[in-house]
């Protein structure tokens, strides 16, 4: 068995290796890793005072019960229990306990599988030193390990029971996520950025979906504050405990450094942001984000320790989030990356938005690009998905440009161009039609499906769509808190740019419990992720963009989704989708 480093942190198991973990089932059970897992399992049984402890051999001649059980399992891999009993009289007591011993192995297998399991390969060289092909590395590590773990389990069970099973289930048995992570040179600024240089950079990701993880938290609280001090000052990152995911966030590259305690959340980025190319990594990042910094290093920032710093000296934005269960929610990681994006976009003269944008093409070849802006859980994505579903007969194509965040620029010809950030979506299960998620469950990463605010991360578009820059035809505010009546239609056009700006600035929404907020809340432009910290700059850009929209004939309005009103969680977005579809077809007919 190759030299592999085994790390257990919480409910996560991480294997670090530079080659195949093992080359046979026999080599796997002979490994230190196998022995460690068995010992941990027995400790778990002791803590539970499990009746399965009855099958443990008694300690003798300096050998503990644990070491004797490990040796027994190694022998059982290639020899039937009855044969062992004949050869070793001391093992005859196990024959009457055959059933209990079988249950012990079943429980050991389930104990191993209850962990979130990750394999990190620190080599890009395929087997035999061949020219690098990522799939060969994954075949030689992750897939072979899965095969050998299943083989060990099945051989042990058959040799104990004396009969093969009649039903075989190909459940995930090895590691669910594989990574190729190696050092990459980039122009590291001097000073506090030095410790980043040695952290391995993820180059390829292998996922065995659907992947289900259960992070400690299921909602986000607090705000992301701009701070004067660089949060990386005085911090050391151990390259054996950290990895870097170079995320393509819209036109930017954000180096996301995450600690191994957040391995599951860090690797879930693969379903949200594309990995930046090797060439782009070599040029260095536009921003860096450290997720899982030591809590004591973040105490200097007070109670709100999710902070970012604008390092004008080296032209980098720096985000930081502490370790700890309180911050074990994917929303922290995603929203901080998008906060850094939003700040960078304002500095480049673009207006960042918190919203969803789609390109809609009808079967009569009419088209419209729709941007719906609003706070979390205001019905943006729900309405657009209802539009896809209800207009299926008339819609030829519907492409996602942005699912959560993006930016708008005014082109030289006066048009508004919309850009996205993510190639994936972090979607709430609670308010969605089942078909929306479960149609692509085989590519999904599910988070806490048993809890309120259960989420799924799944790929929905591609980078070319996100970065292209599409003209905006509809610019709408998602209003989830107002009822519909004669004076408040489902889709209401604003009389002009100033009226639109007033509604967007107020940013009113009914909080749905996906964050710590409750009731009717207000947030500047429905976007707390950067704009409030740069309000003067943002106001200047917003004035220019909204007046340009009015001159260009963009439909400026608000869409009453009623998602925040009890009883309207499904009907509200559906009626909003119908009103929006009528407006699109009428606008296309009058064009």
Task: Tell me how far apart the alpha carbons of residues 430 and 512 are, in angstroms, rounded to a whole number.
Answer: 10
Q: Domain spans of the chain?
A: 5-175, 178-348, 351-423+460-590
169, 179, 487 from 192: Cα distances, Å = 50, 27, 57
Q: Can 178-348 and 351-423+460-590 be said to share one CATH topology?
A: no
Q: Is the pLDDT of residue 499 over 90?
A: yes
pLDDT in tens, 424-470: 989 877 655 555 545 567 888 999 888 888 888 989 899 999 999 99
Per-residue pLDDT, 512: 65
Residue 558 phi/psi, 5-degree rounding, is -130, 145
Residue 410 phi/psi, 5-degree rounding, is -95, 115
Selected residue with higher pLDDT from 572 and 128: 572
- The arithmetic mean of pLDDT across residues 521-536, rounded, is 95
Identify the CATH class of 351-423+460-590: alpha beta
Across the chain, mean pLDDT equals: 91
Q: Which of 127-136, 316-325, 431-440 has the lowest average pLDDT?
A: 431-440
Q: In degrees, to the nearest 5, what angle opens at C-alpha 585 toward C-alphas 581 and 590?
A: 145
Cβ atoms of 554 and 474 closer than 8 Å: yes
Q: Is the pLDDT of residue 132 over 70?
A: no
Residue 74 token pair: 């190694």
- Return the HEC string of 98-114: HHHHHHHHHHHHHHHHC
- The arithmetic mean of pLDDT across residues 489-512, rounded, is 94
pLDDT in tens, 329-346: 999 999 999 999 999 999
Residue 193 token pair: 């950025």
Tell me the three state secondary structure of residue 585. Answer: helix
- The arithmetic mean of pLDDT across residues 229-256, rounded, is 97
Q: Which of 20-29, 118-127, 138-147, 459-468 has the lowest average pLDDT?
A: 118-127
Per-residue pLDDT, 279: 96
Place of tokens 């004669």: 486
* pLDDT confidence band for 3 (50 / 70 / 90): low
pLDDT in tens, 100-123: 999 999 999 999 999 999 999 998
Q: Is the pLDDT of residue 300 over 60?
A: yes
Task: Tell me how far apart the alpha carbons of residues 543 and 549 are, in angstroms, rounded to a whole number.
Answer: 10
Q: Is the pLDDT of residue 127 over 90?
A: no
Cβ atoms of 338 and 224 closer than 8 Å: no
Cβ atoms of 435 and 423 closer than 8 Å: no
- The arithmetic mean of pLDDT across residues 75-94, rounded, is 88
Per-residue pLDDT, 469: 97
% of the chain surpassing 70 pLDDT: 95
Q: Where does residue 447 rank: exposed (0-12), middle (13-18), buried (19+ CB within 10 A)?
A: buried
Q: Is the pLDDT of residue 516 over 70?
A: no
Q: Is the pLDDT of residue 93 over 80?
A: yes
Tell me the three state secondary structure of residue 319. Answer: strand
Tell me the three state secondary structure of residue 436. Answer: helix
pLDDT in tens, 165-181: 999 998 889 999 999 99
Per-residue pLDDT, 151: 96
Burial code (b: 16+ CB inside 10 Å, e: under 16) for 337-362 equals bbbbbbbbbbeeebbbbbbbbbbbeb
Strands annotated E in 151-198: 177-182
Q: Is the pLDDT of residue 147 over 70?
A: yes
- The arithmetic mean of pLDDT across residues 483-493, rounded, is 95
* Element spanning 84, H or E: helix 81-87
Rg (CA), the chain: 27
Concatenated DSSP letters of 19-82: S-S-SSHHHHHTSHHHHHHHHHHHHHHHHHT-GGGGGSPPPBTTB-HHHHHHHHHHHHTTS-HH
Selected residue with higher pLDDT from 392 and 292: 292
Q: Where does residue 526 rank: exposed (0-12), middle (13-18), buried (19+ CB within 10 A)?
A: buried
CATH topology of domain 178-348: Phosphoenolpyruvate Carboxykinase; domain 1 (3.40.449)
Per-residue pLDDT, 131: 44
Mode of pairing for the β-strands spanning 455-459 and 351-362: unpaired
% of the chain surpassing 90 pLDDT: 73
Task: Tell me how far apart the alpha carbons of residues 301 and 560 are, in angstroms, rounded to a whole number.
Answer: 39
Strands annotated E in 453-536: 455-459, 470-471, 474-479, 491-493, 508-511, 519-522
- The arithmetic mean of pLDDT across residues 29-43, rounded, is 96
Per-residue pLDDT, 437: 46
Q: Is the pLDDT of residue 249 over 80?
A: yes
């Amino acid at each position: 068995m190759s030299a592999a480093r085994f790390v257990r942190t919480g409910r996560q198991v991480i294997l670090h290796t530079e080659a195949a973990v093992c080359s046979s089932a026999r080599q796997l059970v002979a490994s230190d890793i196998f022995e460690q897992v068995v010992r941990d399992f027995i400790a778990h049984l002791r803590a539970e005072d499990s009746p399965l402890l009855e099958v443990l051999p008694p300690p003798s001649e300096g050998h503990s019960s644990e070491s004797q059980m490990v040796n027994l399992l190694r022998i059982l891999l290639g020899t039937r229990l009855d044969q062992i009993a004949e050869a070793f009289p001391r093992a005859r007591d196990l024959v009457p306990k055959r059933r209990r011993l079988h249950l012990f192995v079943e429980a050991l297998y389930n104990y191993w599988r209850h962990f979130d399991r990750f394999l990190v390969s620190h080599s890009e060289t395929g087997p035999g030193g061949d020219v690098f092909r990522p799939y060969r590395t994954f075949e030689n590590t992750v897939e072979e390990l899965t095969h050998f773990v299943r083989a060990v389990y099945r051989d042990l069970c058959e040799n104990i029971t004396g009969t093969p099973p009649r039903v075989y289930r190909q459940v995930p048995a090895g590691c669910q996520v594989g990574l190729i992570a190696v050092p990459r040179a980039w122009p590291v600024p001097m000073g506090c950025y030095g410790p980043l240089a040695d952290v391995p950079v993820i180059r390829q990701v292998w996922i065995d979906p659907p992947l289900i993880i259960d992070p400690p938290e299921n909602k986000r609280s607090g705000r992301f504050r701009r701070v004067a001090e660089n949060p990386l000052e005085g911090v050391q990152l151990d390259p054996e405990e950290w990895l870097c995911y170079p995320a393509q966030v819209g036109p930017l590259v954000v180096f996301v450094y995450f600690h191994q305690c957040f391995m599951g959340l860090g690797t879930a980025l693969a379903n949200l942001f594309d990995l930046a190319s090797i060439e782009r990594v070599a040029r260095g990042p536009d921003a860096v984000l450290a997720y899982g910094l030591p809590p004591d290093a973040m105490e200097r920032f007070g109670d709100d320790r999710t902070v970012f710093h604008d390092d004008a000296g080296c032209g980098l934005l720096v985000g930081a989030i502490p370790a700890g269960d309180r911050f074990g929610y994917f929303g922290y990681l995603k929203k901080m990356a998008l906060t850094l994006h939003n700040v960078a976009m304002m500095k480049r003269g673009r207006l960042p938005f918190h919203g969803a944008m789609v390109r809609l093409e009808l079967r009569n070849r009419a088209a419209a690009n729709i941007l719906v802006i609003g706070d979390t859980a205001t019905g943006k994505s729900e309405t657009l998905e209802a539009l896809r579903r209800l207009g299926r007969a008339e819609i030829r194509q519907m492409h996602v440009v942005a699912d959560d965040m993006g930016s708008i620029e005014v082109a030289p010809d006066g048009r508004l161009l919309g850009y996205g950030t993510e190639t994936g979506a972090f979607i709430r299960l609670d308010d969605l039609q089942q078909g929306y998620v479960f149609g692509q469950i085989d590519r999904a990463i599910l988070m806490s499906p048993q809890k309120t605010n259960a989420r799924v991360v799944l790929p929905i578009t591609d980078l070319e769509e996100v970065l292209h820059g599409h003209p905006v035809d509809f610019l709408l505010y998602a209003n989830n808190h107002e009822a519909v009546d004669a004076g408040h239609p489902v889709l209401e056009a604003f009389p002009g740019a100033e009226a639109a700006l007033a509604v967007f600035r107020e940013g009113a929404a009914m909080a749905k419990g996906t964050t710590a907020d409750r009731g009717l809340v207000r947030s500047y432009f429905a976007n707390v992720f950067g704009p409030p910290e740069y309000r003067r700059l943002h106001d200047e850009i917003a004035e220019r963009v909204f007046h340009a929209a009015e001159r260009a004939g963009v439909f400026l309005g608000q869409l009453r989704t009623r998602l925040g009103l009890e009883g309207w969680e499904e009907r509200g977005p559906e009626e909003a989708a119908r009103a929006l579809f009528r407006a699109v077809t009428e606008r296309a007919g009058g064009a």
